[in-house]
Amino acid sequence: MTIYLASESPRRSMLLQKIGLNFRRIKPNAEEISEEDLEPEEYVITNAVRKARSILPQIDEGIIIAADTIVVKDSEILGKPLDEKDAIRMLSKLSGASHDVYTAIVLLEKGTNKMEVEIEQTRVEMRKISSKQIQKYVESGEPLDAAGAYKIQERGAKFIRRIEGCYYNVVGLPISMLVEMLKKFNVYV
């Protein structure tokens, strides 16, 4: 059975490679929904399901893995920043405080339409970040491709005081949860 990753994320691909999962990556053809009036869990599930379903026409058979990750602070959903100004705004908001990271994973099997959906939540506490540090980090370009405008596994690590929960959730794919979900499709890694 072929496994497909409905994602362009190099981080998600890297994590699947690290656990020894053979897969093919396909770019999903789904625009993310607006976050208005949705709870964080509903938002990530909806986006992950849309990503999974968007690649169904491109495959004959197999299991699709799709995921969506967001950062939530004071009930505001922070996806990827629109530009440098937005990244500065997000990092300033997260500085010196705690926030939550949500990832929904969807597994969808073409043919049977069997679908499993799970959500992981991780609490992240950032230390206080000066405006000069934020500016320098944003100028590196790294924050522009990450929910909440930081990458915990790269330069953004220096801003993290502590986390409660799954580290890989913050990276963008909670591996332990995914491995358990794959067992329901008789896929063992």
pLDDT digits (tens, 9 = 90+) for 6-51: 999 999 999 999 999 999 999 999 887 776 678 999 999 999 999 9
User: Can you read off the two tokens belonging to residue 46?
Assistant: 């909806």
Q: What are the phi and psi torsion angles at 186 (to 5°)?
A: 60, 35
Q: Residue 35 has what pLDDT? A: 63
Please count the residues of the chain. 189
Sequence-ordered strand ranges (E) for 41-92: 62-73, 76-78
Q: Residue 37 has what pLDDT? A: 77
Active site residues: 68
Q: Any idea which architecture 3-183 has in CATH?
A: Alpha-Beta Complex (3.90)
Q: Residue 31 has what pLDDT? A: 82
User: Can you read off the two tokens belonging to residue 69?
Assistant: 């990750």
Q: Residue 32 has what pLDDT? A: 76
Best CA proximity match to 45, nearest among 7, 100, 102 = 102
Residue labelled with tokens 């709870």 = 39
Q: Residue 106 has what pLDDT? A: 99
Please state, for a pLDDT cut of 90, what percent of the chain lies above it: 95
Instruction: Answer whether 167's CB lies under 8 Å from 103's CB.
Output: no
Domain ranges of the chain: 3-183
Regions in the chain scoring below 70 on pLDDT:
35-36
Best CA proximity match to 106, nearest among 151, 71, 56, 148 = 56
